[in-house]
Structure 1
Amino acid sequence: MKRSCDAFKCDTAVQPGRFLCLAHWRMVPLPTQRTINARYRACRTNFGFLSDLVYLQACVDAIDGIARSEYGAGHQAGQGSYHRLLRGAKKKGQS
C-alpha cells in the first residue's frame, strides 16, 4: 500500500509504517519524535496507536508544528486524518 507523508500539502511517498517523509521528520522536535516512536511501538500489535491519545496528540503537534514552520505562525493543518482520529479518541474517552 502506497502512502504519502502526513505533513500538510506534502505528496512525498513514504514507506509503510512511516509517518512523515525524512525532510519533515527532521523538523519534528526530538521529544515529540521519541513520543511518537515509543507509543507507536507500544501499541502497534493491534493498531492501538490509532486510538492512543498520547500518540495521536504528538502526531497532531508534529503536523501542526511543521505547518506553522512552513506556512506561518497562525497556520494549523487542521483537518487531516490524525486530527480526526484524535477528535474521535477524545470523544470515546469522554463517553
Structure 2
Amino acid sequence: MEIVCEWCGNEAKNSENSVYWELPDGTRAIEITETPAIVCNQCKMEYQTDEVTKEIEDQLFLVDTKKIGKSISYKELMALPRLLKRNYFDFSS
C-alpha cells in the first residue's frame, strides 16, 4: 500500500523517530524513542499519524507517569500497566 504524505501529497514511507511529549499533568516532557512515524521522501516532513498520537496520549493519561524516566521507547511505554482500562474522559469514540 502506497503511503501519501499528508503535507505535500507525495510518496512517503513508514519509519521511526524520537518525539518529545508533555505529560498530561504538565510537570515535564519526556522523550519517546522508536516511535512509529511517516517520513516524506519529497518534503522530508516526519510526523506521527493521528492514531499513534491518540495511542500515546491515552497511554500517558492511563499509566503512572512517575515511573517514566526522561526517555522511554514507544514499545516500553505501550507495555506499561494501566491504572484504568481505558480513557473514560475521551468522548470522541
After TM superposition, the score normalised by the length of structure 1 is 0.35
* Structure with higher helix content: 1
Q: Larger Rg: 1 or 2?
A: 2
* Structure with higher strand content: 2
